[in-house]
């Protein structure tokens, strides 16, 4: 019985997801420059020809992964700016999502490291560094505004919001690197530990 269009589309999506997962793991472990297309195909369990049907080059694959990370950052920024919940509730939700992602898999940590590689190694010749910088700065600014609103409401500790943002994201990126380095010996700090410098005591 021939496959339906829906079945072919599901197969196409499943193959792309395998390629993306394999590429992300290799880019993080070996670096962009040391990873070749054959490595990715082997790790994904597919032929190199099938990989090329989905991605014409490893640069395009790398860029798509970076775009995925940027989309997540933009979505989080919009949530911080939406005022749907209190600043503390918004930060709590964000931190719990980070905690759960770090506890249950490697994708979030890999995405953070991939973003760092896009800056430090120039991975992906066509990566739009201007866009990466723009979205990153917007997320940092949105987080600083969230902290400032939380301070005005008496939910957050006093202090320079920009410095607090820098400390917060530096901690998250550092934890992503530690997770990759320590593997099974990694122990993710609790959400309370991650926000202890943000919230007033007793909050």
Residues 132 and 178 in one domain: yes
Residues 36 and 71 in one domain: no
Q: Answer whether residue 125 shows pLDDT above 50.
A: no
Bridge-partner residues for 156, per DSSP? Answer: 199
Query: Token pair of 181, please?
Result: 């380095």
pLDDT number for residue 29: 84
CATH of residue 134's domain is 1.10.357.10
Residues 48 and 135 in one domain: no
Residues 157 and 130 in one domain: yes
Q: Which residue has the tokens 């990715």?
A: 40
- What are 55-112's pLDDT values in tens digits? 998 888 988 888 888 899 999 999 999 888 999 999 999 999 999 999 988 888 888 8
State which residues form the domain around 67. Answer: 59-203
**Contacts (Cβ under 8 Å, ≥6 apart) of 113:** 28, 176, 177, 180
pLDDT number for residue 202: 53
Q: How many domains does the chain have?
A: 2
pLDDT number for residue 203: 47
CATH of residue 3's domain is 1.10.10.60
User: If you average pLDDT over every residue of the chain, what do you get?
Assistant: 88
Residues 182 and 91 in one domain: yes
């Amino acid at each position: 019985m021939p496959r339906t269009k829906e079945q072919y589309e599901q197969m196409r999506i499943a193959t792309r997801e395998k390629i993306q997962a394999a590429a992300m793991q290799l880019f993080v472990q070996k670096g962009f420059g040391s990873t070749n297309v054959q490595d990715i195909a082997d790790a994904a369990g597919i032929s190199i020809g099938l990989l090329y049907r989905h991605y014409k080059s490893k640069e395009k694959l790398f860029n798509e992964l970076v775009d995925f990370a940027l989309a997540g950052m933009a979505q989080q920024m919009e949530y911080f700016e939406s005022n749907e919940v209190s600043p503390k509730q918004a930060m709590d939700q964000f931190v719990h999502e980070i905690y759960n992602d770090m506890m249950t898999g490697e994708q979030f940590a890999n995405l953070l490291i991939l973003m760092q590689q896009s800056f430090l190694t120039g991975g992906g010749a066509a990566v739009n560094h201007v866009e990466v910088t723009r979205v990153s700065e917007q997320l940092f600014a949105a987080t600083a505004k969230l902290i400032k609103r939380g301070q005005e409401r008496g939910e957050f500790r006093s202090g320079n919001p920009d410095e607090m943002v820098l400390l917060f994201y530096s901690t998250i990126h550092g934890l992503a690197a530690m997770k990759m380095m320590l593997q099974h010996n990694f122990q993710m700090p609790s959400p309370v530990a991650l926000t202890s410098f943000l919230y007033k005591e007793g909050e």
